[in-house]
């Protein structure tokens, strides 16, 4: 049950395990407003729906990220805050259904008739975000991660999926990432677009590194932002059950439910390392300096390195 509604009511007509019957698995992208989105579960219609038609409600809570910045982690934290630490949904319903992407083809079916408070995920840049959001009291939690680690995580993720453009050579991928010619657009554009709104009371900035360093403090911060008063046992449950190892072993969050048609499961896991600083094992000095240079140029107004402990 979710908010008094039977789980069946939250499903689209075609259950996720049967998506392979209707989806063409391709590494092609769809281009919307000049930005590439993976063709799997993104269409011009679904993106247009998210931006122009989707009706945001005051009670909605959005989990917004550039990919590979801690999206799944936040989906689980929000689920467990919402359930006050109760594990039933977290153990029974896949994350993509509990906290669905508004811009995906499944967004409308999952979200339109769902009772509030709805938990919603998005990888959209701020200027493509649902227009109706800006007229409501709905909240956004925007999670950022060191772009060097994002680059490495995305590179590895592309190697294990069958539905994302795959560049096997890291140097080549790095150069494409730096140019912003990747899915969901440039990391710099994504982050700077959202950071421009950081002082709004309805937006909370989080960092992957901060969550790693202080998981409990991070959960408390999110609860405070959402006005949710959980007792110590519930907070403990949220923190313990959203650790890397717990999520890696939870079928409802680890993407093992996706069939071999979607993933090269033998090549690696969605929950890969879950650390900060892995970029040092991939970047050359020159590649690191190149990204630093761009960072200084594009992010100079935001003082991010000091604030979020990115090195």
Return the active site residues. Answer: 123
Closest to ligand A3P by CB, 62 or 73: 73
CA angle, 190 then 222 then 191, to 5°: 10
User: Which residue among 2, 46, 65, 122 contacts ligand A3P (CB under 6 A)?
Assistant: 65
Closest to ligand A3P by CB, 1 or 94: 94
User: Which residue among 46, 106, 156, 218 contacts ligand A3P (CB under 6 A)?
Assistant: 156
Nearest to 193 by CA among 105, 184, 201: 184
Element (H, E) at 203: strand 203-207
User: Which residue among 39, 51, 69, 254 contacts ligand A3P (CB under 6 A)?
Assistant: 69
Nearest distance, CB of residue 65 and ligand A3P, angstroms: 5
Nearest to 87 by CA among 231, 242, 221, 217: 242
Residues between 193 and 232 that touch ligand A3P (CB under 6 A): 212
Other beta carbons within 10 angstroms of residue 216's beta carbon come to 12
Closest to ligand A3P by CB, 201 or 223: 223
Does residue 162 bind ligand A3P (CB under 6 A)? Answer: no
3-state secondary structure of 205: strand
**DSSP character string of 11-49:** S-SS-GGGGGGT----S-EEEETTEEEESTT--HHHHHI
Which residues, at least 6 apart from 301, have a Cβ–Cβ distance to it below 8 Å?
192
Window 267-296: contact mask with ligand A3P (x via CB under 6 A): ----xxxx---x------------------
Burial class (CB in 10 A: 0-12, 13-18, 19+), 311: exposed
Closest to ligand A3P by CB, 67 or 107: 67
Q: Give the binding site for ligand A3P (CB under 6 A).
A: 65, 67-73, 149, 153, 156, 212, 242-244, 247, 271-274, 278
């Amino acid at each position: 049950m979710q908010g008094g509604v039977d789980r069946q009511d939250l499903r689209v007509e075609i259950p996720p395990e049967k998506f392979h019957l209707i989806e063409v698995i391709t590494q092609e992208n769809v281009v919307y407003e000049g930005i590439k989105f993976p063709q799997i579960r993104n269409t011009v219609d679904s993106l247009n729906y998210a931006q122009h038609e989707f009706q945001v409600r005051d009670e909605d809570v959005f989990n917004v990220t550039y990919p590979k910045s801690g999206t799944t982690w936040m989906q689980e934290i929000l689920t467990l805050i919402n359930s006050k630490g109760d594990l039933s949904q977290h153990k029974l319903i896949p994350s993509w259904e509990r906290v669905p992407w508004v811009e995906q083809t499944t967004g409308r079916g999952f979200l339109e008739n769902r009772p509030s408070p709805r938990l919603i995920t998005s990888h959209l840049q701020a200027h493509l975000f649902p227009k109706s959001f800006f007229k409501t009291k709905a909240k956004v939690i925007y999670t950022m991660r060191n772009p060097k680690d994002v680059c490495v995580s995305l590179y590895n993720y592309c190697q294990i999926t069958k539905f994302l453009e795959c560049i096997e050579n890291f140097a080549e991928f790095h150069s494409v990432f730096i140019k912003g010619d990747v899915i969901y657009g440039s990391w710099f554009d994504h982050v700077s677009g959202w950071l421009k709104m950081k002082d709004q009371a309805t937006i909370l900035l989080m960092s992957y590194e901060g969550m790693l360093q202080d998981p409990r403090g991070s959960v408390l911060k999110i609860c405070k932002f959402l006005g949710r008063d959980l007792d110590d046992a519930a907070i403990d449950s949220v923190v313990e059950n959203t650790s890397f190892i717990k999520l890696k072993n939870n079928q409802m969050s680890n993407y093992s439910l996706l069939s071999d048609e979607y993933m090269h499961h033998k090549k690696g896991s969605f929950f890969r390392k879950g650390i900060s600083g892995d970029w040092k094992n991939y970047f050359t000095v020159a590649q690191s300096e190149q990204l630093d240079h761009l960072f200084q140029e594009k992010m100079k107004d935001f003082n991010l390195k000091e604030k979020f402990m990115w090195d």
